[in-house]
Structure 1
Amino acid sequence: MSNVVADHLVLLDHLRSILVAVGEAEQVPEESHALFLERFDELRALLPVDPIESQYLGQDILCQVITRYPQIAHLVPRDLLWYFAGDCLHYMPDDEIDLYQALEERRFEAEQNDEPFDWNQEKQLLAMSNDEPKH
């Protein structure tokens, strides 16, 4: 299993814990919530086995998280939206998409040059440089 997939499994686990908490707070219809968590778990199981095949399921589920649970939409890890892409990108502003595209370019460059690449560290560096005032 690649590091990328492993990192996204951690993010999915984090998001699932938020969904469980929403269900426990009884902010959602219990039956449909349980069925939704089952589908979420299918994605969690499919991702390490078949990352390509899991893309459409991931897009569907993440978009549903945002539409079904708007109260936690801001807690959905942005890396998951970017990773599953497709319709998920509708929930990312243009400047955020630009940041992730720059990250992908840096990762590709590092791989081409056999250099180490730390996604989270690079993301922080890019975000900081974007926060600096433009002259």
Structure 2
Amino acid sequence: MSTTPSLEALFNQLANGIKQASSEVNQETLINWINRCQELAERFKQGDEAAYQQGQDTVCQLISYWPQLTPIIPRDLLWLLGGECLHFMPEEEISVYQQLEEQQASAEATNQRFDWQTTKQLLSAQITTSKQFH
């Protein structure tokens, strides 16, 4: 069993983050971005594979137009969308996600439970500790 975050949940999380950042962006623009995120969440919920490209485009545009909102974008969303979104992730972070997916695949191959968030935190902590000692 795996607990990888769903793109639906991540886009809903992003929409909520944008709502909370209302002082950063004018109201009309804010509503448009929230609607785009909610539409993408619904498309992913329905299993629409074509939503990946629109999701990548939406996230990349959000970062380009409002870089101050970048901290509210879930890092899992960047990784799971892939493509152009990976350009906004440092190499160390990409390494964490690569290890995370390897461990997830290993756990699934042996029918073991895998907790995405806990494992990600442990891997991130290992990289932080490693950087401190080098």
Once the two structures are superposed, what CA deviation does each residue of 1:26-79 show, in whole Å capped at 9, x if it has no partner? Answer: x33443433333222210110111252221111111112211221121221100
Q: Structure 1: any 5+ residue segments left out of the alignment?
A: none
Change (3 A) 1:126 1:91: same
Once the two structures are superposed, what CA deviation does each residue of 1:85-126 show, in whole Å capped at 9, x if it has no partner? Answer: 110000000111011001001101111111111001111111
Partner of 2:119: 122
Partner of 2:70: 73
Q: What percent of counterpart residues are identical?
A: 34
Partner of 1:57: 54
Tell me the distance in 2 between the aligned counterparts of 1:4 and 1:126: 15
**One-letter code aligned to 1:70:** P
Q: CA RMSD in A?
A: 2.1
**One-letter code aligned to 1:14:** Q
Q: Structure 2: any 5+ residue segments left out of the alignment?
A: none
TM-score by length of 2: 0.84
Say whether residues 1:82 and 2:87 are aligned partners. Answer: no
Runs of 4 or more, structure 1, over 6 Å off, are none
Q: Would you say how many aligned residue pairs link Structure 1 and Structure 2? A: 131
Where 1:59 maps in the other structure, the secondary structure is helix
More displaced 10-residue stretch of structure 1: 7-16 or 103-112: 7-16
Question: Structure with the greater relative contact order (CA < 8 A, sep ≥ 6): 1 or 2?
Answer: 2
More displaced 10-residue stretch of structure 1: 113-122 or 13-22: 13-22
Say whether residues 1:28 and 2:25 are aligned partners. Answer: yes
TM-score by length of 1: 0.84
